[in-house]
């Protein structure tokens, strides 16, 4: 892979892109993961490639939800494992959430390759592999329906980063709380999750880890209050307004913050 000069105006974005390409070369990221990443980049452009105030509200609510849960699970796919393996493992450690590999494009060796990435990043237990990965969520038609009976099947809260369409609705129908990370505020996942963090997975994961650490000693009442005051539809609306206002400003003056 060719070197990316530090002074390249889009160096950070290119480095992140290369993590996805390397992930694909190591059988971690699906080919469609490259396309998904490009769609994410386009939405990130509209957001100004920054974590916005509404996204911070969602991160706080997500931290509270994880801490209040009895059995939280982080669902890991190819893109999320390639982008932030260390942060995923750290989030699991600080929040007590289990890690489960759950992928849409199930080709030989991919689940194992993702498990290996997580173990290299320090994970001690990775679900979704082996004999307990024989649970089924009947409402899901894709291969994502196969889940671990020690993980997503019995979870009360599931974190689903960089997710395709139908699973969030199915998990909600099962009574689970769903936290999504999705740069597209209009996606079906974003619109149907309980809490949607509209931010780049790369930016929001370290913030989520920090927020969980901050709230770890908060009382149950405090955590419940954060959740009661959180309104996902309103927060998604704030994101759309923020994009609208930013585009209106750019239409008048051009981009000021390049």
Residues that bind ligand PTJ (CB under 6 A): 30, 32-33, 36-37, 39-40, 43, 77-79, 83, 103-105, 162-165, 181-184, 187, 200-202
Q: Shortest Cβ distance from residue 100 to ligand PTJ (Å)?
A: 12
Instruction: Please identify the residue of the shown chain whose CB is closest to the bound ligand PTJ.
Output: 40
Sequence-ordered strand ranges (E) for 119-176: 135-136, 146-147, 157-161
CB-nearer residue toward ligand PTJ: 43 or 230: 43
CB-nearer residue toward ligand PTJ: 77 or 177: 77
User: Of the candidates 46, 42, 48, 2, which has an alpha carbon nearest to the alpha carbon of residue 21?
Assistant: 2
Q: Shortest Cβ distance from residue 46 to ligand PTJ (Å)?
A: 11
What's the rounded Cα separation, in Å, for the pair 127 and 147? 9
Q: Shortest Cβ distance from residue 132 to ligand PTJ (Å)?
A: 19
Q: Shortest Cβ distance from residue 52 to ligand PTJ (Å)?
A: 13
Q: 3-class DSSP state for residue 82?
A: helix
CB-nearer residue toward ligand PTJ: 115 or 201: 201
CB-nearer residue toward ligand PTJ: 30 or 155: 30
Residues across the chain: 258
The DSSP element (H or E) to which 195 belongs, if any, is strand 195-197
Residues with Cβ within 8 Å of 196's Cβ and at least 6 positions away in sequence, in order, are 58, 179, 180, 181, 182, 185, 189, 190, 232, 235, 236
CB-nearer residue toward ligand PTJ: 53 or 165: 165
Q: Shortest Cβ distance from residue 102 to ligand PTJ (Å)?
A: 7
Residue 52: other Cβ atoms inside 10 A: 18
């Amino acid at each position: 892979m060719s070197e990316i000069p530090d002074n390249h105006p889009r160096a950070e974005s290119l480095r992140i892109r290369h993590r996805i390409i390397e992930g694909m070369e190591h059988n971690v990221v699906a080919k469609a993961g490259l396309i998904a990443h490009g769609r994410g980049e386009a939405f990130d452009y509209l957001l100004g490639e920054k974590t916005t105030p509404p996204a911070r509200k969602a991160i706080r609510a997500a931290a509270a939800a994880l801490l209040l849960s009895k059995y939280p699970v982080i669902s890991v796919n190819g893109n999320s494992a390639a982008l932030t393996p260390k942060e995923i493992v750290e989030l699991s450690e600080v929040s007590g959430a289990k890690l489960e590999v759950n992928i849409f494009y199930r080709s030989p060796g991919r689940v194992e390759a993702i498990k290996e990435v997580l173990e290299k990043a320090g994970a001690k237990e990775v679900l979704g592999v082996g004999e307990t990965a024989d649970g089924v969520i009947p409402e899901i038609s894709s291969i994502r329906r196969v889940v671990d009976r020690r993980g997503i099947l019995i979870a009360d809260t599931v974190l689903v980063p960089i997710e395709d369409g139908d699973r969030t609705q199915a998990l909600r129908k099962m009574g689970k709380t769903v936290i999504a990370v999705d740069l597209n505020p209009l996606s079906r996942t974003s619109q149907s999750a309980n809490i949607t963090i509209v931010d780049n997975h790369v930016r929001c994961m370290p913030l989520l880890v920090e927020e969980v650490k901050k709230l770890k000693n908060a009382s149950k009442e405090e955590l419940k209050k954060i959740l009661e005051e959180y309104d996902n539809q309103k927060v998604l609306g704030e994101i759309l307004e923020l994009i609208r206002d930013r585009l209106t400003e750019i239409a008048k003056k051009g981009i000021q913050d390049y």
